[in-house]
Amino acid sequence: MARDLYYHTLPARILHWVNAANIGLLTTTGLYIRDPETFPFFAGMDIARKIHFIAMYLIIYGILIRIYYSYVSQDYRELLFRIRDIKGFPALVKYYLFLSKELPDYGKYNPGQKFLYNLWAVLVFFQAFTGFALYFPNVSAGLTRMLGGPLLFRQVHFLLTWVFIVTVALHIYLSFLGGWTVVKSMITGYFPEGEHMQPSSEPAGISEKI
């Protein structure tokens, strides 16, 4: 019988779900603020804006705390995307598309996961910057004009919203594609030794080292 490995610590799991909830709130409120008739998620603009900014502050704090926790727990060594990880993408893509039965031993996180997690951390701060500039136009008027103007900021802010929507949807899809044990590991913290963290194209009963 395979033993369970303690894969995700309690702080990492809490931050994961808190940040996930905040991204969901930011996305839905942001779409409503932009076009309340097309995205009627809330009862009014005032409440949508309040929720939007509360969620933005919370996710900024959440990302900063996660970065700090990565440093003190040393798991940044597994999470940090490095240039050398690029060479692992071709084999990973082939595996996700079921064109290959072999998954290289990437360690705890594959190159795609590392890139996505690092990308989200960076984009959150770009999104916050453009959002604050749009919400407080008098404070940032000079800087906004220098960087292209409020229209460009609004377009970038909206584009980044869809980057989050698409990448989060991809993350959820691949997590469920990997099986219930992958999803459950982010709840319990434990993952069966010898099973895939990624979707497997092998016949049932055949497993590789994580």
128 inside domain: yes
Do the domain assignments include residue 16?
no
Domain that holds residue 159: 4-9+63-192
Residue 25 lies in a domain: no
Is residue 34 a part of any domain in this protein?
Answer: no
Among 171, 192, 177, 200, smallest CA distance to 16 is for: 171
Kindly indicate the confidence band of residue 180, based on its pLDDT and cuts at 50, 70 and 90: confident
Question: Total structural domains in the chain?
Answer: 1
As a whole number of angstroms, the distance between CA 205 and CA 202 comes to 8
- Note whether residue 86 is domain-resident: yes
pLDDT bracket for residue 206 (50, 70, 90)? very low
* Residue 178, pLDDT above cutoff 50: yes
Tokens of 17: 């779900």
Question: Over pLDDT 90: what percentage of the chain?
Answer: 60
